[in-house]
Amino acid sequence: MFFSVYWAFQNENRLNEFESILIQILKGLDQRKPEYVLIATNLGVLQIEIGNLEIAKQTFDSIFSMDWSHFDYTKESELMDKILGEDLDKQYSDIFRKYYALAKFNAACLYSKLQDPERSISYLKEAVVLEPEIYNRVKILSEKDFLSIEHHEIYKEFINSLN
């Protein structure tokens, strides 16, 4: 849905207005919910697209500075899963991990645009650890945002370390 709304605002040349709307939505969200990370990440991506790279840095720094430890999941019991079905806490933890990995990946894109390959690769590594099936070699190589750092040795070494 985000992309549909994004494209509508883009077609009308009103991305700055969309940014303001996302900021207002974010202010009203419960920071303890996975959706907060998703909306904040989308805001950061929008800020990158608008060209507000320094503001996008602040958005991603804000996401990464928050305490998300309540999404750390420890499985209680196989028996309880069989009786009650999959644990709701696990489902929340899984969706949070996906959103957080997305934030890390998009922060990597931002730092690539800022010509900071070390920080970009650091965020990429975190995204890969969180969601290796999604943020794999093929996905990373297909991302145009990394073209600006592909000649750096740290990027080449990282790509070569992936299966």
100-120 pLDDT, tens per residue? 999 999 999 999 999 999 999
Among 32, 48, 69, where does a domain finish?
69
Nearest alpha carbon to residue 72 among 90, 60, 87, 88: 90
| Same domain for 95 and 60 | no
pLDDT of residue 157: 98
Domain that holds residue 87: 77-163
| Same domain for 155 and 94 | yes
Per-residue pLDDT for 79 more than 70?
A: no
Rounded distance between C-alpha atoms, residue 152 and residue 76, angstroms: 45
| Same domain for 145 and 116 | yes
pLDDT of residue 88: 56
pLDDT tens digits, one per residue of 50-72:
999 999 999 999 999 998 887 76
Number of domains forming the structure of the chain? 2
Nearest alpha carbon to residue 16 among 62, 66, 50: 50
| Same domain for 163 and 106 | yes
Strand ranges (DSSP E) for 30-156?
none
